[in-house]
Amino acid sequence: MEEPSGAQLLGPVEIRALAEKLDVTPTKKLGQNFVHDPNTVRRIVAAADLTPEDHVVEVGPGLGSLTLALVEKAASVTAVEIDPRLAAELPATFAWRAPQLADKLTVVQKDALKVQQSDFATQPTALVANLPYNVSVPVLLHMLAEFPTITKVLVMVQLEVADRLAADPGSKIYGVPSVKASFYGDVSKAGTIGKHVFWPAPQIESGLVKIVRTKTPWPQDKETRAKVWPVIDAAFLQRRKTLRAALSGHFSSAPAAEEALRAAGIDPQLRGERLDVADYVRLAGVIGS
């Protein structure tokens, strides 16, 4: 199948001109840093492994740098944008830079943390985004929870957050985000992005995180999360404590915590960072030992 003719991607000149036109100053509050390097955008899209059948959701499209590249590869793109000025301008940017692909774009003006399945005409199969840095993990987890149809994820986040999300059990940076992301499938780091491809340039480097949703022995539903999430949170609340001590509040007492841990085949003297997601699911009583 022949690919549609490509979009004209945005460079530094176009990004500045659009921002000036809209009187937009990127804000720290909304975690805005606009990518102005076409090569970086293409790299992100390539790492996402999209097919022409994929329906992509992009969170925080900003001025449309990544959005323009995504529509070249996917069946459709739904862009979720909280800023009304940016949301209103995206269709105009497509009319300017990719008129032949404009019908593949849908814009949803909403807070990504509140977006629901009912906001989408077509349920997404992929999440590809330069996530707002200040809410990157909550947004990522919300999208995975709300849209079980998402089977592939490629997101750009702060490098430190990327390392945490992809950390393995036993490492010093393994924690709540690592466990909760792996609840849905295989999490890995897909690269590092320097500061100078953004406007304004952030203080820190960024990292790409890839998640491939897999079939798990546990249901990935709201009821399961309601049982598992509190156990994960309690285990890492005071990460220097043993699980017997850390989970004493959750299980009402230290002896009760020890009993639950032993029933799940887990040493009560271990710390939370030693357990993988399957251990936590078992401990929550969702699947047996």
Residues making up the binding site for S-adenosyl-L-methionine: 33, 35, 60, 81, 111, 130
What are the residues whose beta carbons fall under 8 Å from the beta carbon of 185, sequence distance 6 or more?
211, 212, 213, 214, 216
Q: Which two tokens stand for residue 74?
A: 């996917």
**Is the Cβ–Cβ distance between 188 and 289 less than 8 Å?**
no
DSSP code for 2: P
Give the long-range contacts of residues 87-91, CB within 8 A, separation 24 or more: 89/18, 89/21, 89/22, 89/63, 89/64, 90/61, 90/64
Find the length of the chain: 289
Q: Which residues are annotated as a binding site?
A: 33, 35, 60, 81, 111, 130
Upper half-sphere CA count for residue 135 (Cβ side, 13 Å): 17
Say whether 241 sits in a helix, a strand or coil. Answer: coil
